[in-house]
Amino acid sequence: MPKALLLINTGSPLQADTWYIKSFLANFFADPHVFRSSALLRLLLKKVVLPKRAPRLQPKYQAIFQNGKAPQDLYSRQLCTQLSTAGLYCTYAFLYAPPLVLGALDKCRRLNIDELYVLPLYPQSSITTTHSALDQVNEALEKLSWHPDVHVMPGYAEHPAYISALAGSIKDGLEDLSPGREKVIYCSYHSLPMSYLKDAADAAYIEQCHETTALLSRALGGLDCRCAFQSAFGPAAWQGPFLQDLLLSHDYNRSAAVVICPGFAMDCLETLHEVEIKIRQELRHKNPAADFKYIPCLNASRAQAALIAALLKDTQAELKGRIRRPEQVS
């Protein structure tokens, strides 16, 4: 039985120029899960905000692209190569830029895939991410009139393989810091507007962020791990505490500040520019001696591939357990 694994992420503009950035933002602004306002207000965002925002974002994307490619695109390709086997075709799709979900699923259909595993690469699930991804999958399957066996792999905020992979990444990242130096690990996640937290699914997302942070602290032998949030924009109130505020007020005389972004499966604008470039520059301006380190996302590491393989194995085992063998039927 031909099987496929579809990895879904937010994505980045195909190229770091204003036309592609506008296209990406237009799709992003049109998502009712992300912007929960009237269609008219979303249209105003597209017509008024987008033309101003795209040129401001261009130099930021240019600063993080690698050989003209978005990091998420490069890492996704590498990850699929690692995960593909003779019995499993692994591919990827983005929500707001090519390769889009519809195109990825159409290729699976043409390959005669009849069993499809879907993994939204959002460890902590929210309506703005996981729900958007699954809606796009359902819409694409309907457009294609294609009905394979679809198995959605759940969020993995507390999965042992995920916590182990993050803990290993942190340990590796701490090796170049002074062994006797005190350290605070700031675990930074994408924030959500406070108004969204009235929905149980989004409130659960915040709880999952705190749980991941607590599990990481335990896996690191009680190391001081603190939950933080980032990437808020606009005038609305957002969930805090904010990473930028925490880092600017951190006492660097007492301890080093280490940042990891567990909610991002792969490095992107929010991690590489907002944290590694922008916040680092602000810290240097305020305190040139600040001991600050950013630890990259899991990206296309062996640990990430092993994590996804473990998630797939768990899903397949659970499905197998649901099948009642004839001798088990009472």
Binding residues for Fe(2+): 190, 270
* CA max distance for the chain: 72
Taking alpha carbons only, the member of 122, 117, 99 closest to residue 11 is 99
Report the side by side order of strands in the sheet with 88-94. Answer: 88-94, 3-9, 115-120, 149-152
With beta carbons less than 8 A apart as the criterion, state whether 286 and 296 touch: no
Residues with Cβ within 8 Å of residue 198, at least 6 apart in sequence: none
- What's the rounded Cα separation, in Å, for the pair 238 and 230? 9
Q: Which residues participate in the annotated binding site?
A: 190, 270
Residues with Cβ within 8 Å of residue 12, at least 6 apart in sequence: 24, 61, 70, 71, 72, 73, 94, 97, 268, 269
Provide the Cα torsion 200, 205, 210, 215; round to 10°. 120
Neighbours of 102 (CB within 10 A): 16
CA 274 from centroid of its chain's CA atoms: 15
CA 313 from centroid of its chain's CA atoms: 21
CA 289 from centroid of its chain's CA atoms: 31
- Please report how the helices 160-173 and 302-322 are oriented relative to each other, as an axis angle in degrees rounded to 10: 170
